[in-house]
Amino acid sequence: MIDRELINTLAAQWRDLKELERETAVQRRMYEKTLVELLAINTSKKGTTNEETSDFKLSCSVRMDQKVDAKMLQEIADENDIGNGIISNLFRWKPELNVRNWDAAHDELKKLFGPCITTKPSTPSFKIELKEKEEKSDN
């Protein structure tokens, strides 16, 4: 038997915590932005800034996120006759499974490539919203 009242209570508490988490994340980012300004950190340059106060040791690291346009990369390599050895030395390739096409593929292909794929369950994710209370009419 499903304990709907317990589920209702847990769902309400989960929603409250999710909202608190969102609010505190927003506030934390505002504090981080202010600290970046106070410490005069250049966010366009990679590096680490360390600072100490009477109560705290602060360390702020700036990293650069880089994305590669795989199609352009391949075109440039082809145009310049650069082999895969050089490319694979400079870049990592992260193949991702196209689930829709995989599910529709012939069994022979699935059998061939199946050993390349590891499947494990992901962490369940929830979206819990407050139900709108229906207004009762006085008819």
Our count of domains for the chain comes to 1
Q: How many residues does the chain have?
A: 139
pLDDT digits (tens, 9 = 90+) for 93-121: 887 899 999 999 999 999 999 988 998 88
> CA torsion sign, 43 to 48 to 52 to 58?
positive
Is 17 among the domain residues?
no
CB of 130 closer than 8 Å to CB of 8: no
pTM higher than 0.75 for the full model? no
Is 95 among the domain residues?
yes
Statement: residue 43 has pLDDT above 60: yes
Structure tokens at 8: 């209702």
Is 37 among the domain residues?
no
DSSP bridge partners of 49: 60
Is 127 among the domain residues?
no
Instruction: Determine the pLDDT at residue 134.
Output: 65
Is 126 among the domain residues?
no
Which structural domain range is residue 94 located in? 67-118
Give the angle 51-56-58 at the CA atoms, nearest 5°: 35
Is 112 among the domain residues?
yes
Is 86 among the domain residues?
yes
